């Protein structure tokens, strides 16, 4: 699966758990860390865990395992590394503090919106 499509599929999983402010940063031209960062916000540590667990569960069903996980101890910022796509799940306050969007300000951004709420 192409990296951008993989990132968008993960975004759909995040939406299913009511994650918000979802952005995909295209790092392919500005860094060798990953092709894409997928960043989202959650309202609580319970929601951070629920989003991370659901991503892991759904991707494992398709034979995709997470290379590296970090942040389950505090649940302010969970990182899931899938090589080409790195997922960052933040509590809202932590996201504002670390401000990855500003740090990677040269990267093109795709905003993912929940079209189901527009009924």
Whichever domain contains 105, its CATH number is 3.30.460.10
Report how far Cα 105 is from the mean position of its chain's Cα atoms: 17
Q: Is residue 116 part of a domain?
A: no
Reported pTM? 0.92
Residue 118 located in a structural domain? no
| Domain housing 58 | 3-111
> Can you tell me the distance from the alpha carbon of 32 to that of 114, in angstroms, rounded to the nearest whole number?
30
Q: How far apart are CA 71 and CA 114, in angstroms?
A: 26
Q: Which pLDDT belongs to residue 116? A: 67
pLDDT at 118 over 50: no
CB 118 within 8 A of CB 90: no
Q: What's the domain count of the chain?
A: 1
Domain membership of residue 81 (yes or no) is: yes
Report the distance separating Cα 64 and Cα 93, nearest Å: 30
Question: What's residue 119's pLDDT?
Answer: 42
């Amino acid at each position: 699966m192409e990296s951008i499509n993989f990132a968008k599929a993960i975004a759909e999983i995040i939406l299913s758990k009511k994650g918000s402010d979802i952005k995909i940063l295209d790092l392919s031209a500005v860094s060798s860390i990953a092709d894409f960062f997928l960043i989202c916000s959650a309202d609580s540590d319970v929601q951070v865990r629920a989003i991370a667990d659901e991503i892991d569960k759904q991707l494992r069903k398709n034979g995709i395992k997470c290379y590296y996980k970090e942040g389950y101890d505090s649940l302010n910022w969970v990182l899931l590394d899938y090589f080409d796509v790195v997922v960052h799940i933040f509590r809202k306050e932590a996201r504002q503090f670390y401000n990855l969007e500003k740090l990677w300000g040269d990267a093109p951004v795709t905003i993912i919106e929940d079209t189901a709420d527009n009924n």
